[in-house]
Chain A
Amino acid sequence: MSFINYSSREINCKIVYYGPGLCGKTTNLQFIYKKTKPEQKGKLISLATETERTLFFDFLPLALGDIRGFKVRFHLYTVPGQVFYAASRKLILKGVDGVIFVADSQIERMDANIESLEDLRINLAEQGYAVEKLPYAVQYNKRDLPSVAPLEEMNKILNVNGVQWFEAVAPTGVGVFETLKSVAKQVLLELKKHY
């Protein structure tokens, strides 16, 4: 649910990074934070445990620039990936405009990816959304690790609808902005359809 303010000429959109625990959602945000100019970003807020596992969410506001005289702001959120934080994940999806599903490419994490994707579907459906209708992209993260699943197989299992997908190595930034741009673009084009 975007917030369009004609008075201050701003558009605010919410993009959520979803995926299994330790797949690199927070790392995506950290890289974006690192590479964005100071005037374009707010604070990166992490509600994390002492061992740096996301407890509730990470939040990064980005103001990348103007479109047609409107300041475009993206609010990026991550969900806590660990299975038992299900209730928190639901809350963060509220009012979402676009979703990035970050998958862990390691073969041994494939089950976790599938479980998380299913969880995403259920949580979105509870709020009347469907992955198929939402601005959405898939990111295959950790492509630099030795035991990764082939892309073809990952696409077959995690991307049955054939949405845009990206290979990524989040700590070094490979694929990070490409994924964000893909979903941001879809979100803005969605606005175009409605207004």
Chain B
Amino acid sequence: MTTDISLIRNFCIVAHIDHGKSTLADRMLELTHTVDQRTMRAQYLDRMDLERERGITIKAQAVRLFHEGYELNLIDTPGHVDFTYEVSRSLAACEGAILLVDAAQGLEAQTLANYHLARDAGLTIVPALNKIDLPAAEPDKRADELAHLLDTDPDRILRVSAKTGEGVPELLKAVIDRVDPPTGDPDAPLQALIFDSAFDTYRGVITYVRVKQGTLSSNARIRMFATRITSEAEEAGVMAPEATPVDSLGPGEVGYLVTGLKDVHQAKVGDTITLAGKSGASEPLPGYLEPKPMVWSGLFPAEGGDYSELREALDKLKLSDSALVYEPETSQALGFGFRVGFLGLLHMDIVRERLEREFGLELIATAPNVEFHVFKGDTETVVHNPAEMPPGGDYDRVEEPVVYATIITPAEYLGAIFELCQARRGEMVDMEYLTPERVEVHYVLPLAEIVFDFFDQLKSKTRGFASLDYEPYGFQESKLVRVDVLLHGEPVDAFSSVVHRDKAYQYGKQMTERLKELIPRQLFDVAVQASIGSKVIARETVKAKRKDVLAKCYGGDITRKRKLLETQKKGKERMRRVGRVDVPQEAFIAALRVDEGAKKR
């Protein structure tokens, strides 16, 4: 039984993290009796444990609600800058978007960026202020701010408390009234947009789809446009909110499809599903992009022997994570591992955490780096690993990726933001006062400057008030150099880094000082040096050890002493050897640790 198309509304919620999107979704599930009180739990739609713990949504989800005769498809969007592309595909599955803004905190950069995406996609915007029950809420002020942005009347902005449920019925009514129903010919050749995909151990690849035109039946023989894979579909259905099979999905409908495929790379987000054979559509839906890693890091098993386990784990993870790419890498210092590409720092963190948590692996990760394009004569080399960058001078120029960053901040912190962006090699594009107190600033910044502690710095310099969003903005030439770190004259590839020439000295000094503290004293003086090519730019010395434990050793001490030696022997076996220097893996982990926080977006 398919619903009359004029009674369908497809919408999503655009909100900043913590502004209450998941809580609002919970209230909608309750209000529409989609989930009964007994089975209700907080943040119902956030399935993965990891998501629930971090309070963010990684995978978009679609849930069908029935309300006053209407079929409402709520499409959840990821709330993180790493997943902008996934957001854009979710938006493409909707006709409308609730723009949800915290009535105390006001508009944030992330929301603004996604609002722009939604507006550009032609979606009807239903603005709403959340958390009006909070004592700190300033609904009138925030309504003015939003109205100004949207060029609308403040009266059109709804006011809700997702926590108490106040205003949620009115919001649903506004969605029904203001958002257009979808259109589409059920008899036209099938075009269904994949806006998310997941991997299920038992059922294989499950795609979440929005049918644009034509009809997708449960047992259709389907074809993917981008990958040209054909397959027998196994089941079509809707999330209500648990998976419920249906005979077919018609135009405007949102649901899932068990594809019969075994690898998510065969059914990519943004791709179009049509029917195999002559009855299929001749054109895909617009807007498909290959997922493109932005950040790279070497992942190595802490125990050398776990390499094959790491490979198996990555292979398994790849089945459910279409954005994950990796290639084998051999490090002199860390042994066999992989150079892994991620959409961003959060993605990197999630992958690492899943590898450790779900597969029980202990990992050493090198500092994240971006991709560099190295030009020499007519050849261009793409470098994902700083250790592969040619040494100083052996190329004509290097390009690095830059991003277009949007920062929203209270005006009083503008100075601090200028200073920070300046120090991070940023170039201001423009700025605009949203209200007399709040400013939107745009910068072009090297991505490499953001992947470290930029976000932390931004938050600490603005007492947490500024927000950041960014999108890729191509590549630009930069004065970059490779800084190597040497122990006792031996370069440690895992510590090589590509940094701007002006920051090379600072980086070298920081690394040598850090390593001086981390490397245990050896039987000889160990020089810790940083160099560009053959030129040493920083040096520290780990002085030779002169004395180890000299405890007395009489009758009662001997057993204890022997056990201590055995423990030390095991510790020594776990050490990595760089030339003549023994380095415990803890030292690698600590030296490579990036300041926390860049990921807590």
Chain A bound to chain B:
no
Interface residues, chain B, with chain A CB atoms under 8 Å away: none
Interface residues, chain A, with chain B CB atoms under 8 Å away: none
